[in-house]
Homo-oligomer: A and B are copies of this chain.
């Protein structure tokens, strides 16, 4: 680089120290990208057993322009060293393993932002039911905050353990929670039909995710009881004040990234004529505006537009649109997000911004 002026993307005086544990998967790679470029963050450690000793630029060549990528090396994951290196630690690890790291890091005073499922559920019995093993750290559940800033912003500010939501749950909860809280929809009979890109399956060498097995393929999977149901239903139950059970059908479609969710909802009061429909539409519109008009990462579509993942991939945005169907009496809601950004790493950085008191879009535009 011929010039020597400091760039604005270099850490500034008020930078916080941050580490990433398990940075070799798709979410971990995206965290590296976001945090290398975050103007208020100093990325001090990234761990990967597989890549220990190599630089970030060697493993993720697309970050090679960033000077820090050529000096920062992957290390073996060691909680003691991590705790000394960083004030905030992101965990991009499989469920079960994440908790093992969270315990010593919290004890050492770090704030943990966990992208796994380990701390998303309040009820360890639900965890055991959906993840097929006992919860590895039930004592920590009480202090965990569900890291959906649009809903839990105040709690995230002071949290030491942030459980970043799953990709599907984010795409389903954001369009549903305001309506449920406002009593505009019935808590029963909710259906969420979702499409996901293949990065959602992770960087795993399995025949099912080979190019020739996914390209030109459309398929449902994980029905009728996908693991993400557990956190979706727990959050809906909290919002509704009564137990909520939903139908959730994920599909695998040939895109790298993106989730599109189509939600089938029943208005709390039926609309039998156009006057009722207009009134209901106005209340739905007002409900969404009240919830999201000032949210930088929620885009409420108006007019004829419907969400399209290509508008949100590469961003931390969720697009939401809705339609009342007078023929069936249902409310249809559509949402689109990038499963690796708003559905994982982008949302985790958004929580970091909240926790640090930074403007929430810092490093995410």
Asked if A75 is an interface residue, CB under 8 A from chain B, the answer is no
CB pair A308–B219 under 8 Å, yes or no, is: yes
CB pair A223–B255 under 8 Å, yes or no, is: no
Chain B residues whose CB sits within 8 angstroms of the CB of A307 once the complex forms: 219-220
CB pair A255–B218 under 8 Å, yes or no, is: yes
Q: Would A7 and B336 be within 8 Å (CB), given that A61-B311, A153-B2, A317-B65 are in contact? A: no
CB pair B247–A264 under 8 Å, yes or no, is: yes
In chain B, what residue has the closest Cβ to A311?
A: B61
Asked if A186 is an interface residue, CB under 8 A from chain B, the answer is no
Asked if A3 is an interface residue, CB under 8 A from chain B, the answer is yes
CB pair B294–A2 under 8 Å, yes or no, is: yes
CB pair A264–B264 under 8 Å, yes or no, is: yes
CB pair B64–A317 under 8 Å, yes or no, is: yes
Chain A contact residues: over half helix, strand or loop, or mixed?
loop
Bitwise interface map of A from 220 to 237 toward B, beta carbon under 8 Å scored 1, else 0: 110111000000000000
Chain B residues whose CB sits within 8 angstroms of the CB of A197 once the complex forms: 212, 218
Q: Would A37 and B218 be within 8 Å (CB), given that A251-B260, A314-B314, A323-B223 are in contact? A: no
Asked if A359 is an interface residue, CB under 8 A from chain B, the answer is yes
Chain B residues whose CB sits within 8 angstroms of the CB of A315 once the complex forms: 62, 65
Asked if A195 is an interface residue, CB under 8 A from chain B, the answer is yes
In chain B, what residue has the closest Cβ to A200?
A: B212
Asked if A365 is an interface residue, CB under 8 A from chain B, the answer is yes
Binds B, one of A120-128, A136-144, A203-211: A203-211
**Size bin of chain A's contact surface:** 35 or more
CB pair B193–A7 under 8 Å, yes or no, is: no
Cβ of A270 to closest chain B Cβ, rounded Å: 13
CB pair B207–A210 under 8 Å, yes or no, is: no
CB pair B364–A254 under 8 Å, yes or no, is: no
- Of A246, A260, A305, most buried by chain B (CB within 10 Å of CB) is A260
CB pair B325–A216 under 8 Å, yes or no, is: no
Contacting residues of chain A (236-290) with chain B, CB-CB under 8 angstroms: 245-247, 249, 251, 253-260, 262, 264
Q: How far is the CA of A245 from the CA of B329 in the complex (A)?
A: 10
CB pair A7–B362 under 8 Å, yes or no, is: yes
CB pair B206–A209 under 8 Å, yes or no, is: no
Asked if A5 is an interface residue, CB under 8 A from chain B, the answer is yes
Chain B residues whose CB sits within 8 angstroms of the CB of A191 once the complex forms: 191, 264
Asked if A296 is an interface residue, CB under 8 A from chain B, the answer is yes
Asked if A73 is an interface residue, CB under 8 A from chain B, the answer is no
Q: How far is the CA of A251 from the CA of B191 in the complex (A)?
A: 16
Cβ-neighbour of A359 out of B6, B216, B301, B312 (below 8 A): B6
CB pair B334–A220 under 8 Å, yes or no, is: yes
Cβ of A129 to closest chain B Cβ, rounded Å: 11
Please provide the 4 A-B residue pairs with the shortest distance between their CB atoms, ordered closest to farther.
Answer: A224-B325, A211-B214, A217-B310, A218-B260
Cross-chain pairs A/B with CB under 8 angstroms, 20 sampled: A1-B295, A2-B153, A3-B359, A5-B357, A7-B361, A9-B365, A26-B212, A61-B301, A62-B312, A65-B299, A195-B218, A205-B207, A217-B258, A218-B259, A219-B309, A223-B332, A247-B325, A251-B260, A254-B254, A254-B255
